Structure 1
Amino acid sequence: MSTLQIGLAVAGGLVLAGVVGYNTWTSRKNAPRQPEAAQVEPGGLEQVEPTFSDAEVQERDMALPTPAKKPTLDALIDVIANLALDPSAPAVSGDAAIAALPATRRAGTKPFAVEGFNVNTHQWEAPAAGQRYSSFQAGVQLANRTGALNEIEYSEFVVKTQHFADAVGATPDFPEMRDEVARARELDQFASGHDAQLGFTIRARNASWSPGYVHQNAGRLGFVAGAMAGRMVLPAATEGMPPVLVLGFDSQAALAEDPAQSAIREISLHLDVAQAERAEAPFERMRDAAFALAEGMDGVVTDDNGQPLARESMEVIGTELQTLYNTLEQRDLAAGSAVARRLFS
Structure 2
Amino acid sequence: MSGFTVGLAIIGGLVLAGLVAWNAWTTRRNTPRQPDVPTTVLATVPLEPQERSEPVLHPEPDEDLAPLPQPERKPRLDALIDVLAAIAIDTLVTGEAAMAALPTTRRAGSKPFAIEGRNDASGEWETPRANQRYAAFQAGVQLANRNGALNDIEFSEFVMKTQAFADAINGAPEFPEMRDEVGRARELDQFASTHDAQLSFTLRARQAAWSPGYVQQHASRQGFVAGAIPGRMVLPATQPGQPAVLGLSFSTQAALSEDPAHSAIRDLTLSLDVPQVSRIEQPFVRMRDTAIALAAAMDGMITDDDGRVIPVEALDRIGADLEHLYDTLEARDLSAGSPQARRLFS
TM-score normalized with structure 2 length: 0.88
Which runs of structure 2 are paired with 1:55-66 in the superposition (5 Å)? Answer: 55=45, 57=56, 66=70
Which runs of structure 2 are paired with 1:100-139 in the superposition (5 Å)? Answer: 100-139=101-140
Change beyond 3 A, Cα 1:32–1:332:
same
Deviation at 1:50, TM superposition (A): 3.5
> Could you say which residue in structure 2 is the equivalent of 1:80?
84
> Could you say which residue in structure 2 is the equivalent of 1:311?
312
| CA distance in structure 2 between the partners assigned to 1:186 and 1:164 by the alignment | 29
> Could you say which residue in structure 2 is the equivalent of 1:26?
26
Contact 2:69 2:243 in 1 (8 A): no
CA-to-partner distance for each residue in 1:171-202, whole Å, 9 max, x for gaps?
Answer: 10001101000000000011110001111111
> Could you say which residue in structure 1 is the equivalent of 2:222?
221
Which stretch of the first structure deviates more once superposed, 73-82 or 247-256?
247-256
Contact 2:211 2:262 in 1 (8 A): yes
Q: Aligned residues, how many?
A: 328
| CA distance in structure 2 between the partners assigned to 1:156 and 1:52 by the alignment | 45
Aligned-pair identity in percent equals 62
> Could you say which residue in structure 1 is the equivalent of 2:330?
329
Which stretch of the first structure deviates more once superposed, 63-72 or 304-313?
63-72
| CA distance in structure 2 between the partners assigned to 1:93 and 1:151 by the alignment | 33
| CA distance in structure 1 between the partners assigned to 2:72 and 2:323 by the alignment | 30
Tell me, what secondary structure is at the counterpart of 1:114? strand
Deviation at 1:94, TM superposition (A): 1.2
Deviation at 1:66, TM superposition (A): 4.1
Contact 1:278 1:336 in 2 (8 A): yes
> Could you say which residue in structure 2 is the equivalent of 1:184?
185
| CA distance in structure 1 between the partners assigned to 2:171 and 2:155 by the alignment | 19
| CA distance in structure 1 between the partners assigned to 2:265 and 2:58 by the alignment | 26
| CA distance in structure 1 between the partners assigned to 2:213 and 2:197 by the alignment | 31
| CA distance in structure 2 between the partners assigned to 1:18 and 1:315 by the alignment | 46
Tell me, what secondary structure is at the counterpart of 1:129? coil
Which stretch of the first structure deviates more once superposed, 9-18 or 212-221?
9-18
Deviation at 1:53, TM superposition (A): 3.6
| CA distance in structure 2 between the partners assigned to 1:16 and 1:129 by the alignment | 81
Which runs of structure 2 are paired with 1:104-253 in the superposition (5 Å)? Answer: 104-253=105-254
> Could you say which residue in structure 2 is the equivalent of 1:320?
321
Contact 2:42 2:58 in 1 (8 A): no
Change beyond 3 A, Cα 1:159–1:58:
farther
Question: Aligned AA for 2:286?
Answer: R
Question: Aligned AA for 1:162?
Answer: Q
| CA distance in structure 1 between the partners assigned to 2:264 and 2:281 by the alignment | 33
Contact 1:116 1:134 in 2 (8 A): yes
Contact 1:71 1:115 in 2 (8 A): no
Change beyond 3 A, Cα 1:27–1:65:
closer
> Could you say which residue in structure 2 is the equivalent of 1:46?
none
> Gapped runs of 5+ residues in structure 1?
39-48
> Could you say which residue in structure 2 is the equivalent of 1:45?
none
| CA distance in structure 2 between the partners assigned to 1:119 and 1:206 by the alignment | 66
| CA distance in structure 2 between the partners assigned to 1:291 and 1:58 by the alignment | 24
CA-to-partner distance for each residue in 1:23-62, whole Å, 9 max, x for gaps?
Answer: 2332122100000026xxxxxxxxxx344544473889xx
> Could you say which residue in structure 2 is the equivalent of 1:41?
none
Contact 1:71 1:126 in 2 (8 A): no
Change beyond 3 A, Cα 1:276–1:27:
same
Change beyond 3 A, Cα 1:234–1:127:
same
Change beyond 3 A, Cα 1:52–1:221:
farther
Contact 2:41 2:58 in 1 (8 A): no
| CA distance in structure 1 between the partners assigned to 2:37 and 2:72 by the alignment | 41
CA-to-partner distance for each residue in 1:130-155, whole Å, 9 max, x for gaps?
Answer: 21111110000000001000000000
Deviation at 1:231, TM superposition (A): 0.5
TM-align CA RMSD: 2.3
| CA distance in structure 1 between the partners assigned to 2:79 and 2:261 by the alignment | 52
Question: Aligned AA for 1:258?
Answer: D
Change beyond 3 A, Cα 1:249–1:68:
closer
Change beyond 3 A, Cα 1:54–1:295:
farther
Question: Aligned AA for 2:336?
Answer: A
